[in-house]
Structure 1
Amino acid sequence: IPQRKQNPVEKQLAVVLYRLGGKATIWDICSKFGIAEGTVPLFTSRIIKTLKNLKEDFIIWPRASVHDAKVFRNSSLYRYRNQLFEESDYVLADSAYPISLNIIPSFKNPSGLDKTKQIAFNKKHSKSRVVVEQAFGRLKSRFQLLKELRTKSTKIATDLIEISLILHNILEKSGDEWEEPSEQILLYRMQFDASHNTRRTQAIKEAGNIKRQNLMDIVIS
Protein backbone atom coordinates (compact mmCIF):
# COMPACT_ATOMS: atom_id res chain seq x y z
CA ILE A 1 0.00 0.00 0.00
CA PRO A 2 1.58 3.31 -1.03
CA GLN A 3 2.18 5.74 1.82
CA ARG A 4 0.09 8.87 1.87
CA LYS A 5 2.08 11.92 0.79
CA GLN A 6 2.73 14.36 3.64
CA ASN A 7 1.33 17.88 3.34
CA PRO A 8 3.84 20.55 2.29
CA VAL A 9 5.82 22.08 5.16
CA GLU A 10 4.56 25.52 4.09
CA LYS A 11 0.95 24.44 4.63
CA GLN A 12 1.71 22.85 7.99
CA LEU A 13 3.48 26.01 9.14
CA ALA A 14 0.63 28.18 7.83
CA VAL A 15 -1.91 26.17 9.84
CA VAL A 16 0.12 26.53 13.05
CA LEU A 17 0.79 30.24 12.51
CA TYR A 18 -2.93 30.79 11.89
CA ARG A 19 -3.67 28.91 15.11
CA LEU A 20 -1.14 30.99 17.08
CA GLY A 21 -2.16 34.28 15.51
CA GLY A 22 -5.84 34.25 16.38
CA LYS A 23 -8.56 32.77 18.53
CA ALA A 24 -9.96 30.40 15.93
CA THR A 25 -11.28 27.05 17.09
CA ILE A 26 -9.92 23.79 15.69
CA TRP A 27 -13.13 23.47 13.66
CA ASP A 28 -12.61 26.95 12.16
CA ILE A 29 -9.02 26.08 11.20
CA CYS A 30 -10.15 22.82 9.59
CA SER A 31 -12.81 24.68 7.62
CA LYS A 32 -10.38 27.34 6.41
CA PHE A 33 -7.60 24.97 5.32
CA GLY A 34 -9.74 22.03 4.22
CA ILE A 35 -8.16 19.53 6.62
CA ALA A 36 -9.45 16.94 9.07
CA GLU A 37 -9.83 17.73 12.77
CA GLY A 38 -6.99 15.42 13.82
CA THR A 39 -4.63 17.06 11.33
CA VAL A 40 -4.37 20.33 13.29
CA PRO A 41 -2.74 18.78 16.40
CA LEU A 42 -0.57 16.63 14.10
CA PHE A 43 0.74 19.69 12.23
CA THR A 44 1.15 21.53 15.54
CA SER A 45 3.22 18.75 17.12
CA ARG A 46 5.53 18.63 14.08
CA ILE A 47 6.11 22.40 14.06
CA ILE A 48 6.60 22.43 17.85
CA LYS A 49 9.24 19.69 17.56
CA THR A 50 11.08 21.60 14.81
CA LEU A 51 10.96 25.03 16.45
CA LYS A 52 12.02 23.74 19.86
CA ASN A 53 15.37 22.86 18.29
CA LEU A 54 15.92 26.65 18.19
CA LYS A 55 14.95 27.16 21.83
CA GLU A 56 18.49 27.53 23.19
CA ASP A 57 19.23 30.24 20.61
CA PHE A 58 16.15 32.37 21.21
CA ILE A 59 14.94 31.75 24.78
CA ILE A 60 17.07 32.01 27.89
CA TRP A 61 15.59 31.35 31.31
CA PRO A 62 16.80 30.36 34.75
CA ARG A 63 16.46 26.65 35.52
CA ALA A 64 13.90 27.22 38.27
CA SER A 65 12.05 29.94 40.15
CA VAL A 66 14.55 32.77 40.65
CA HIS A 67 14.19 36.34 41.92
CA ASP A 68 14.40 39.03 39.22
CA ALA A 69 17.41 40.64 40.89
CA LYS A 70 19.34 37.35 40.81
CA VAL A 71 18.46 36.84 37.16
CA PHE A 72 19.85 40.30 36.45
CA ARG A 73 23.07 39.65 38.41
CA ASN A 74 23.64 36.52 36.32
CA SER A 75 22.98 38.33 33.04
CA SER A 76 25.62 39.50 30.58
CA LEU A 77 24.25 43.04 30.98
CA TYR A 78 25.33 43.00 34.63
CA ARG A 79 28.56 41.03 34.18
CA TYR A 80 29.83 43.35 31.45
CA ARG A 81 28.33 46.55 32.83
CA ASN A 82 31.73 48.28 33.00
CA GLN A 83 32.21 47.78 29.26
CA LEU A 84 28.60 48.49 28.32
CA PHE A 85 27.91 51.57 30.45
CA GLU A 86 29.50 54.97 30.64
CA GLU A 87 29.42 56.54 34.11
CA SER A 88 26.39 58.64 33.15
CA ASP A 89 24.46 55.66 31.69
CA TYR A 90 21.84 53.82 33.72
CA VAL A 91 19.02 51.31 33.49
CA LEU A 92 15.64 51.87 35.15
CA ALA A 93 14.44 48.97 37.29
CA ASP A 94 11.64 48.28 39.74
CA SER A 95 12.13 48.56 43.48
CA ALA A 96 13.19 44.91 43.86
CA TYR A 97 16.56 45.63 42.22
CA PRO A 98 19.60 46.91 44.16
CA ILE A 99 20.53 50.51 43.45
CA SER A 100 23.91 51.39 41.93
CA LEU A 101 25.42 53.97 39.59
CA ASN A 102 24.03 52.07 36.61
CA ILE A 103 20.83 50.61 38.12
CA ILE A 104 18.20 53.12 39.25
CA PRO A 105 15.16 51.47 40.87
CA SER A 106 12.01 53.27 41.97
CA PHE A 107 11.60 54.20 45.63
CA LYS A 108 10.23 51.15 47.46
CA ASN A 109 8.45 53.03 50.26
CA PRO A 110 8.35 56.79 49.66
CA SER A 111 8.82 58.57 52.98
CA GLY A 112 10.45 61.50 54.77
CA LEU A 113 10.64 65.12 53.69
CA ASP A 114 10.95 64.16 50.01
CA LYS A 115 7.97 61.78 50.03
CA THR A 116 5.94 63.89 47.57
CA LYS A 117 8.90 64.19 45.19
CA GLN A 118 9.63 60.47 45.52
CA ILE A 119 6.04 59.60 44.58
CA ALA A 120 6.21 61.94 41.58
CA PHE A 121 9.56 60.40 40.59
CA ASN A 122 8.08 56.90 40.81
CA LYS A 123 5.26 57.90 38.45
CA LYS A 124 7.68 59.22 35.83
CA HIS A 125 9.90 56.20 36.42
CA SER A 126 6.98 53.85 35.81
CA LYS A 127 5.99 55.60 32.57
CA SER A 128 9.54 55.25 31.28
CA ARG A 129 9.52 51.51 32.02
CA VAL A 130 6.28 50.93 30.14
CA VAL A 131 8.39 49.75 27.18
CA VAL A 132 8.62 46.39 28.98
CA GLU A 133 4.84 46.12 29.05
CA GLN A 134 4.77 47.10 25.38
CA ALA A 135 7.13 44.22 24.61
CA PHE A 136 4.66 41.76 26.14
CA GLY A 137 1.87 43.59 24.33
CA ARG A 138 3.58 43.00 20.97
CA LEU A 139 4.02 39.33 21.83
CA LYS A 140 0.33 38.86 22.66
CA SER A 141 -0.79 40.92 19.67
CA ARG A 142 1.27 38.81 17.28
CA PHE A 143 0.19 35.53 18.88
CA GLN A 144 -3.30 36.11 20.21
CA LEU A 145 -3.71 32.47 21.18
CA LEU A 146 -1.68 33.43 24.28
CA LYS A 147 -4.61 35.54 25.49
CA GLU A 148 -6.84 32.47 25.67
CA LEU A 149 -5.13 29.06 25.53
CA ARG A 150 -7.82 26.52 24.66
CA THR A 151 -6.23 23.36 26.00
CA LYS A 152 -6.46 21.35 29.19
CA SER A 153 -2.96 19.96 28.69
CA THR A 154 -0.21 21.80 30.59
CA LYS A 155 2.37 20.26 28.23
CA ILE A 156 0.64 21.54 25.09
CA ALA A 157 0.05 24.97 26.66
CA THR A 158 3.75 25.22 27.59
CA ASP A 159 4.83 24.15 24.09
CA LEU A 160 2.54 26.71 22.43
CA ILE A 161 3.90 29.47 24.68
CA GLU A 162 7.49 28.44 23.95
CA ILE A 163 7.15 28.38 20.16
CA SER A 164 5.32 31.73 20.29
CA LEU A 165 8.28 33.18 22.20
CA ILE A 166 10.76 31.65 19.75
CA LEU A 167 8.92 33.06 16.73
CA HIS A 168 8.46 36.43 18.45
CA ASN A 169 12.17 36.73 19.23
CA ILE A 170 13.10 35.72 15.69
CA LEU A 171 10.89 38.53 14.38
CA GLU A 172 12.24 41.03 16.92
CA LYS A 173 15.85 40.20 16.06
CA SER A 174 15.15 40.46 12.34
CA GLY A 175 13.80 43.99 12.85
CA ASP A 176 10.19 43.19 12.02
CA GLU A 177 8.05 46.20 12.90
CA TRP A 178 4.76 45.23 14.48
CA GLU A 179 1.79 47.54 14.08
CA GLU A 180 -1.44 47.15 15.97
CA PRO A 181 -4.29 46.14 13.63
CA SER A 182 -6.40 49.07 12.45
CA GLU A 183 -10.07 49.35 13.39
CA GLN A 184 -10.98 48.35 9.82
CA ILE A 185 -8.94 45.14 10.05
CA LEU A 186 -10.37 44.35 13.49
CA LEU A 187 -13.89 44.89 12.12
CA TYR A 188 -13.15 42.57 9.18
CA ARG A 189 -11.87 39.90 11.57
CA MET A 190 -15.00 40.19 13.70
CA GLN A 191 -17.22 39.89 10.61
CA PHE A 192 -15.16 36.94 9.34
CA ASP A 193 -15.38 35.16 12.71
CA ALA A 194 -19.11 35.87 12.93
CA SER A 195 -19.61 34.43 9.44
CA HIS A 196 -17.62 31.32 10.35
CA ASN A 197 -19.58 30.87 13.57
CA THR A 198 -22.89 31.26 11.72
CA ARG A 199 -21.91 28.59 9.17
CA ARG A 200 -20.71 26.32 11.95
CA THR A 201 -23.96 26.74 13.90
CA GLN A 202 -25.97 26.04 10.76
CA ALA A 203 -23.90 22.93 9.98
CA ILE A 204 -24.38 21.62 13.54
CA LYS A 205 -28.10 22.31 13.33
CA GLU A 206 -28.44 20.50 10.00
CA ALA A 207 -26.46 17.53 11.30
CA GLY A 208 -28.70 17.41 14.37
CA ASN A 209 -31.85 17.49 12.23
CA ILE A 210 -30.57 14.61 10.10
CA LYS A 211 -29.66 12.57 13.18
CA ARG A 212 -33.05 13.24 14.78
CA GLN A 213 -34.80 12.23 11.56
CA ASN A 214 -32.81 8.97 11.44
CA LEU A 215 -33.59 8.24 15.10
CA MET A 216 -37.26 8.93 14.50
CA ASP A 217 -37.28 6.53 11.54
CA ILE A 218 -35.70 3.84 13.73
CA VAL A 219 -37.91 4.37 16.79
CA ILE A 220 -41.16 5.00 14.92
CA SER A 221 -41.20 2.16 12.43
Structure 2
Amino acid sequence: MQFIYVLPDWEGSTHDGCVLRDVISRQHGLRVPRGCYYLVDSEYCNANGFLVPYPGQRYHLKEFHGHRPKTPEEYFNMKHSKARNVIERCFGLLKGRWKILASPSFFSMQIQVCIIMVCCLMHNLIHKFMSFDP
Protein backbone atom coordinates (compact mmCIF):
# COMPACT_ATOMS: atom_id res chain seq x y z
CA MET A 1 0.00 0.00 0.00
CA GLN A 2 1.68 3.14 -1.24
CA PHE A 3 0.58 6.63 -2.05
CA ILE A 4 1.23 7.37 -5.72
CA TYR A 5 -0.14 10.90 -5.94
CA VAL A 6 -0.72 13.31 -3.08
CA LEU A 7 -2.30 16.74 -3.44
CA PRO A 8 -3.00 18.06 0.07
CA ASP A 9 -3.62 21.73 -0.67
CA TRP A 10 -7.43 21.53 -0.77
CA GLU A 11 -9.79 22.00 2.16
CA GLY A 12 -11.63 18.88 3.29
CA SER A 13 -15.01 20.41 2.45
CA THR A 14 -14.13 20.76 -1.25
CA HIS A 15 -16.19 18.49 -3.52
CA ASP A 16 -14.20 15.47 -4.72
CA GLY A 17 -15.08 16.11 -8.36
CA CYS A 18 -13.64 19.62 -8.17
CA VAL A 19 -10.37 18.27 -6.79
CA LEU A 20 -10.18 15.56 -9.46
CA ARG A 21 -10.78 18.06 -12.27
CA ASP A 22 -7.95 20.19 -10.91
CA VAL A 23 -5.61 17.23 -10.48
CA ILE A 24 -6.00 15.90 -14.03
CA SER A 25 -5.85 19.37 -15.62
CA ARG A 26 -2.48 20.31 -14.11
CA GLN A 27 0.60 20.19 -16.34
CA HIS A 28 2.25 17.63 -14.03
CA GLY A 29 -1.00 16.33 -12.60
CA LEU A 30 -2.30 12.83 -12.14
CA ARG A 31 -2.00 10.66 -15.23
CA VAL A 32 -3.66 7.28 -15.45
CA PRO A 33 -1.43 4.79 -17.28
CA ARG A 34 -3.02 3.34 -20.43
CA GLY A 35 -4.99 0.20 -19.65
CA CYS A 36 -5.20 1.07 -15.93
CA TYR A 37 -8.05 2.46 -13.88
CA TYR A 38 -8.51 4.21 -10.57
CA LEU A 39 -11.51 3.22 -8.51
CA VAL A 40 -13.56 6.20 -7.41
CA ASP A 41 -16.71 6.45 -5.37
CA SER A 42 -20.14 7.39 -6.60
CA GLU A 43 -19.41 11.11 -6.11
CA TYR A 44 -17.56 10.98 -9.44
CA CYS A 45 -18.55 10.11 -12.99
CA ASN A 46 -17.11 7.35 -15.14
CA ALA A 47 -14.30 8.80 -17.24
CA ASN A 48 -11.20 7.54 -19.01
CA GLY A 49 -9.16 5.81 -16.33
CA PHE A 50 -11.77 6.16 -13.57
CA LEU A 51 -14.39 3.58 -12.60
CA VAL A 52 -17.38 4.23 -10.36
CA PRO A 53 -19.62 1.52 -8.91
CA TYR A 54 -22.89 0.66 -10.61
CA PRO A 55 -25.69 2.83 -9.22
CA GLY A 56 -28.75 1.24 -7.67
CA GLN A 57 -26.89 -1.98 -6.81
CA ARG A 58 -25.57 -3.28 -3.49
CA TYR A 59 -22.14 -1.83 -2.86
CA HIS A 60 -20.92 -1.88 0.74
CA LEU A 61 -19.33 -5.11 1.94
CA LYS A 62 -21.69 -5.38 4.90
CA GLU A 63 -24.57 -5.59 2.40
CA PHE A 64 -22.97 -8.75 0.96
CA HIS A 65 -22.34 -10.41 4.32
CA GLY A 66 -23.93 -13.82 4.01
CA HIS A 67 -25.27 -13.01 0.52
CA ARG A 68 -23.62 -13.69 -2.79
CA PRO A 69 -23.86 -11.17 -5.62
CA LYS A 70 -26.85 -11.91 -7.84
CA THR A 71 -25.84 -9.96 -10.95
CA PRO A 72 -22.59 -9.09 -12.72
CA GLU A 73 -23.12 -5.49 -11.59
CA GLU A 74 -23.35 -6.54 -7.94
CA TYR A 75 -20.25 -8.69 -8.36
CA PHE A 76 -18.37 -5.70 -9.81
CA ASN A 77 -19.57 -3.49 -6.95
CA MET A 78 -18.48 -6.05 -4.36
CA LYS A 79 -14.97 -6.25 -5.87
CA HIS A 80 -14.89 -2.45 -6.22
CA SER A 81 -15.82 -2.06 -2.55
CA LYS A 82 -13.15 -4.57 -1.43
CA ALA A 83 -10.48 -2.69 -3.34
CA ARG A 84 -11.63 0.68 -1.97
CA ASN A 85 -11.45 -0.75 1.55
CA VAL A 86 -7.71 -1.20 0.98
CA ILE A 87 -7.50 2.52 0.24
CA GLU A 88 -9.39 3.40 3.43
CA ARG A 89 -7.13 1.08 5.47
CA CYS A 90 -4.11 2.85 4.01
CA PHE A 91 -5.46 6.22 5.20
CA GLY A 92 -6.21 4.68 8.60
CA LEU A 93 -2.67 3.33 8.81
CA LEU A 94 -1.26 6.72 7.87
CA LYS A 95 -3.31 8.52 10.54
CA GLY A 96 -2.50 5.83 13.09
CA ARG A 97 1.23 6.07 12.49
CA TRP A 98 1.42 9.86 12.30
CA LYS A 99 -0.86 11.12 15.07
CA ILE A 100 -0.39 14.71 13.89
CA LEU A 101 -2.76 13.83 11.01
CA ALA A 102 -5.51 12.51 13.26
CA SER A 103 -6.47 15.77 14.96
CA PRO A 104 -7.20 19.35 13.95
CA SER A 105 -4.10 21.41 13.26
CA PHE A 106 -3.16 24.88 14.38
CA PHE A 107 -0.39 25.18 11.80
CA SER A 108 -0.69 27.39 8.73
CA MET A 109 -2.05 25.78 5.57
CA GLN A 110 1.42 25.85 3.99
CA ILE A 111 2.90 23.91 6.95
CA GLN A 112 -0.03 21.47 6.97
CA VAL A 113 0.59 20.69 3.29
CA CYS A 114 4.25 19.96 4.06
CA ILE A 115 3.35 17.76 7.03
CA ILE A 116 0.97 15.66 4.93
CA MET A 117 3.51 15.28 2.12
CA VAL A 118 6.27 14.23 4.53
CA CYS A 119 4.01 11.73 6.32
CA CYS A 120 3.02 10.13 2.99
CA LEU A 121 6.65 10.02 1.86
CA MET A 122 7.76 8.44 5.13
CA HIS A 123 4.93 5.91 4.87
CA ASN A 124 6.11 4.92 1.38
CA LEU A 125 9.76 4.74 2.45
CA ILE A 126 8.93 2.52 5.43
CA HIS A 127 7.00 0.12 3.20
CA LYS A 128 9.67 0.11 0.52
CA PHE A 129 12.85 -0.22 2.56
CA MET A 130 11.97 -1.84 5.87
CA SER A 131 11.49 -5.60 6.02
CA PHE A 132 9.54 -5.18 9.25
CA ASP A 133 6.97 -2.43 9.67
CA PRO A 134 7.06 -1.21 13.29
Which bracket does the TM-score occupy, shorter chain normalised? 0.5 to 0.7
Q: Aligned equivalents of 1:172 and 1:77: distance in 2?
A: 27
The alpha carbon displacement at 1:75 in A equals 0.3
CA shift digits 1:15-49 (9 cap, x unpaired): xxxxxxxxxxxxxxxxxxxxxxxxxxxxxxxxxxx
AA aligned to 2:19 is V
Q: Is the aligned partner of 1:124 residue 2:79? A: yes
Unaligned runs of 5+ in 1: 1-57, 182-221
Which is greater in Rg? Answer: 1
Aligned residues: 112
Tell me the secondary structure at the aligned position of residue 168 of structure 1: helix
Q: TM-score, normalised by structure 2?
A: 0.59
- Tell me how large the CA RMSD over aligned residues is: 3.8
Q: Is the aligned partner of 1:62 residue 2:10? A: yes
Contact 1:77 1:84 in 2 (8 A): no
The alpha carbon displacement at 1:80 in A equals 7.2
CA shift digits 1:143-200 (9 cap, x unpaired): 24655x5xxxx6xx343x9375243123145x2227665xxxxxxxxxxxxxxxxxxx
AA aligned to 2:14 is V
Q: After the TM superposition, which segments of 4 or more aligned residues of structure 1 sit over 6 Å from their partners?
A: 77-81
Given the superposition, is the C-alpha separation of residues 104 and 168 from structure 1 closer, same or farther in structure 2, using an over 3 Å criterion? same
Structure 1 or 2: larger helix share? Answer: 1
Contact 2:39 2:50 in 1 (8 A): yes
Q: Aligned equivalents of 1:127 and 1:169: distance in 2?
A: 22
What is aligned with 1:213? Answer: none
Contact 1:143 1:164 in 2 (8 A): no
Unaligned runs of 5+ in 2: 1-5, 59-69
Given the superposition, is the C-alpha separation of residues 146 and 171 from structure 1 closer, same or farther in structure 2, using an over 3 Å criterion? closer
Relative contact order, CA 8 A, sep 6+: which one is greater?
Answer: 2
Q: Sequence identity, in percent?
A: 26
Q: TM-score, normalised by structure 1?
A: 0.39
